[in-house]
Amino acid sequence: MSAIDDLVTELARLPGIGSKTAQRLAFHLLKEPAEAAERLAQAIRRVRSQVMACGTCGNLADEDPCAICRDPRRDATLLCVVEEAKDVAAIERAGRYRGRYHVLGGRVSPLDGVGPEALRVGPLVERVRNGSGVREVIVATNPSMEGEVTATYLQQVLRPTGVRVTRIARGLPVGGDLEYADGVTIAQALAARREMGEE
C-alpha cells in the first residue's frame, strides 16, 4: 500500500469522513508546506500523549485534576452531569454556568450494549455522598430517549443521598420560530412554561 493510500485509509476511519473526503484531505496535506503537515502530526501526537480523563469529574484535560475541578471560584455545591466531555465544552461556551461537572462517559444504550454499569455512575454517587457539599445535581444528558432513561436512572440512584436533582429544561430554541417547531417540542415548551419576570 502506498503512503497516500495509507493516509487516505486512516483519514477515512474518522467519523463523518468518507473515502472521497479522505482523498481530498490527503491531497490537500500534500499541497501544503511540509511544516503544516508536521504541525498537524505533532498536535495529534500531543493530544494522544498529554490529554487524560480528570480523576474527579472525568472531563478530558491536560492535567489531573482538570482546571475546572481545581478552580476555587467554581461553585462546588452545584454539579452538572453530562454524557461526554464535549458537552462540558458546549456548556462552558455558554459562559453562564459556574458550578462543576461530572462526565458519565456515555449514556444508557442497550442496542450498543451500554448499561448503567458501563457509565461513571458509581463515582458520581461517591462524589455526592462523600461530604463534598454538593447540594444540587443538574442532569444535562441529551433530551433523546437514551438521555432521558439515563436521567431517570440517575435520579433513582441519587434519591437516597437526599441531594436535589434537577433536569435541564426542554423547549423552543432561542431565535427559533413557532411555525417551524414540531408538535412535541411545542408541547414540552408549554409544559415547562414559567411566570414572566423569572430569570
Kindly list the residues in this chain that would bind another protein in the complex (CB under 8 A): 15-16, 108, 110-113, 115-117, 139, 144-146, 148-149, 151-153, 155-157, 159, 164-169, 173, 176-177, 180-185, 192
Which CB, 35 or 179, lies closer to another protein? 179
To another protein, the closest distance from the beta carbon of 189 in angstroms equals 11
Sign, CA torsion 149/152/158/163: positive
Which CB, 37 or 168, lies closer to another protein? 168
Q: How far is CA 103 from CA 83, 130, 132, 186, in A?
A: 6, 18, 17, 29
To another protein, the closest distance from the beta carbon of 46 in angstroms equals 26
Which CB, 55 or 176, lies closer to another protein? 176
Which CB, 75 or 148, lies closer to another protein? 148
To another protein, the closest distance from the beta carbon of 78 in angstroms equals 14
Q: What is the DSSP string of the chain?
A: --HHHHHHHHHHTSTT--HHHHHHHHHHHHHS-HHHHHHHHHHHHHHHHH-EE-TTT--EESSSS-HHHH-TTSEEEEEEEESSHHHHHHHHHHT---EEEEE-SS--BGGGTB-GGGSTHHHHHHHHHTTS---EEEE---SSHHHHHHHHHHHHHHGGGT-EEEE---SPPTT--GGGS-HHHHHHHHHT---TT--
To another protein, the closest distance from the beta carbon of 167 in angstroms equals 4
To another protein, the closest distance from the beta carbon of 34 in angstroms equals 30
To another protein, the closest distance from the beta carbon of 137 in angstroms equals 10
Which CB, 55 or 115, lies closer to another protein? 115
Euclidean distance between CA atoms 75 and 130, whole angstroms: 17
Which CB, 56 or 150, lies closer to another protein? 150
